[in-house]
Structure 1
Amino acid sequence: YDTFLEWIPFEKFQNITYIAEGGFGKIYSAKWPEGNIYYWDIENQSWLRDNIDKYALKSLNNSSDICSDFLNEVI
């Protein structure tokens, strides 16, 4: 099991709803129909994805100054 980041274009999210202001920026909930990668299927040479209904999206205030605390929170 490895941890990694996957870039998801904003257009892939649906039903985006504002929740609150966090320590680093705004927090939203959203649906992502494609789902999160959780396993590499060697036989079919493709990623298997889960079907979690909602995800948290976090905007970043002052994105030119990303700190390790923010990255630790994301991962």
Structure 2
Amino acid sequence: MLNGLIKAAYNNQPKFRLEWIPFEDFTDIKKIGNCDFSEIYMATWTKGKTTGWSKLKTKFNRCKSQMVALEVLKDSQNFSSTFLKELQNNVKS
């Protein structure tokens, strides 16, 4: 279900890239806040965002590492359809 959402986001808005990022790609993770349904962290994304496609290398070009905010959902192993619908609406807008 989440994979389908990521693919749909890319197809619907190619300039906006929703990407699954493995946890190991983050360093210097520091908790900076708390909400009812999530915890907020600051981290360094070691690979950085994509900047375009390299036909020569047949892979995405990436910028340098960058600071990002991470939101960790509490009980995220139990995604609700409401949450996925909200995420889908955010991707469309």
Correspondence for 1:68 = 85
**TM-score if structure 2 supplies the norm length?**
0.62
Q: Matched residue of 1:11: which SS?
A: helix
**TM-score if structure 1 supplies the norm length?**
0.74
Structural mapping, 1:1-75, within 5 Å = 2=14, 3-22=16-35, 24-63=37-76, 64-65=79-80, 66-69=83-86, 71=87, 72=90
Identity %: 33
> Which has the higher relative contact order, 1 or 2, with Cα contacts under 8 A spaced 6 or more apart?
1
Letter in 2 for 1:54: M
Q: Matched residue of 2:69: which SS?
A: strand
Gaps of 5+ in 1: none
The structure that is helix-richer by fraction is 2
Aligned mates of 1:31, 1:19 — CA distance in 2: 14
